[in-house]
Amino acid sequence: MKRLMRLRASPHLRDLCAETEFNRAQLIQPLFVVEGLESEEPIPGLRDNVRHGGSSLLAQIERDLAAGVTQFLLFPVPGQKKEKGFAHRFTADTIGAIRRQFGDNLSLWIDTCLCSYTTHGHCAVLEGSRIDHQATLDEMANAALAFAEAGAHGISPSDMMDGRVARIRAALDERGMDLVPVMSYSTKFASNFYGPFRNAADSAPQFGDRRHYQLDVRNRSGAIAASIRCAEEGADLLMVKPGGTSLDLIAPISERTGLPVGAYQVSGEYEGLSLLAENGLVNFDEALLETWHVFKRAGAQFIITYGAREARRLGIGR
């Protein structure tokens, strides 16, 4: 009799046959820093992820490094909102402080988008209710330059505006920062799963929604095309988001572009696991690990997750 079960009969055999393995170096921990915040504030739904003030952020990074995290994605939340002409002093100072304290012991990516900066909460400069595309790209390039000059290891544009990767790449290259990589949110859907994040980043749109620039979940070809566009514009790393609702797209995108493709396990997905656990319906740790393995099985090279700092405790090596 053919026995598929034979190789699952012991933990050693299961480990021997495991096809997906990964390590902590492939998990990216998001961090929120809020201008003017004295200490820290909880983020409903995101467990031990909080909104940090400056010194609280440095203390958190120190704890995370000790817990074996090396990759961080920073979300700066400015104190003052504007229509355009955004200032980046606060973020640049924060990046400088992180690099002074931790040097190259970490890899620091900066989420680059306008939605936390604008009065209306859209990821663009608006002219009335229309997107002013050129002004938006100018602002994105300015932000990227300010972050990279302050010492960011990488830039991560999350706005989904056409042309922003090319524009950021050209701006960085022009200033001689041709080794600063761009990790693009390349296949990013208009999604219901960003709720806790928008509170954390104070970035919910004040009118309308993001369907004009974020992708339509009904579409597969458009979703793959968006990543191909970013690859052609010079992105180094690509991403699908939300990860859990984009599993089918990871392999086709990496085959079509030849680039590493990550999955962003977004705030609503993480909160979902957390709520299930609070209601006694799943074991949080095991469920979290399960989702990570599934991202890997689907072909994700890296995972952005609010649980990266739990990885060592969950037995993930290196």
The answer to whether residue 233 forms part of the interface with ligand PBG (CB under 6 A) is no
| Contact between 136 and 86 (Cβ < 8 Å) | no
84 labelled catalytic: no
CB of 28 to ligand PBG, least distance (A): 12
> How far is Cα 265 from Cα 243, in angstroms, rounded to an integer?
5
Q: CB nearer to ligand PBG: give 106 or 160.
A: 160
Cis peptide bond prior to 252, omega within 30° of 0: no
| Contact between 199 and 113 (Cβ < 8 Å) | no
> How far is Cα 291 from Cα 298, in angstroms, rounded to an integer?
11
Q: CB nearer to ligand PBG: give 120 or 256.
A: 120
The answer to whether residue 86 forms part of the interface with ligand PBG (CB under 6 A) is no
CB of 30 to ligand PBG, least distance (A): 7
DSSP character for 215?
B
Residue from 74, 45, 75, 25 nearest 202 by CA: 75
The answer to whether residue 118 forms part of the interface with ligand PBG (CB under 6 A) is no
81 labelled catalytic: no
Helices (H), 7-111: 11-17, 54-66, 89-102
| Contact between 160 and 226 (Cβ < 8 Å) | yes
The answer to whether residue 267 forms part of the interface with ligand PBG (CB under 6 A) is yes
CB of 190 to ligand PBG, least distance (A): 8
DSSP lists the bridge partners of residue 132 as: none
| Contact pattern from residue 271 through residue 310 relative to ligand PBG, giving x for each residue in contact according to CB under 6 A and a dash for the rest | ----------------------------------------
The answer to whether residue 266 forms part of the interface with ligand PBG (CB under 6 A) is yes
Q: Is 305 helix (H, G, I), strand (E, B) or coil?
A: strand
**Quick one: which segment of 32-40, 129-137, 192-200, 231-239 binds ligand PBG (CB under 6 A)?**
192-200
| Contact pattern from residue 146 through residue 185 relative to ligand PBG, giving x for each residue in contact according to CB under 6 A and a dash for the rest | ------------xx--------------------------
The answer to whether residue 123 forms part of the interface with ligand PBG (CB under 6 A) is yes
The first and second tokens of residue 273, run together, are 């696991």
DSSP character for 46?
S
Catalytic, out of 2, 84, 241, 296: 241
Element (H, E) at 241: strand 238-241
Q: Using CB positions, name the residue nearest to ligand PBG.
A: 197
Find all residues with CB under 8 Å of 188, minimum gap 6, and list them: 158, 160, 214, 215, 226, 239, 240, 241
The answer to whether residue 197 forms part of the interface with ligand PBG (CB under 6 A) is yes
Residues that bind ligand PBG (CB under 6 A): 111, 113, 115, 123, 158-159, 194, 197-198, 203, 210, 266-267
Active-site residue list: 188, 241
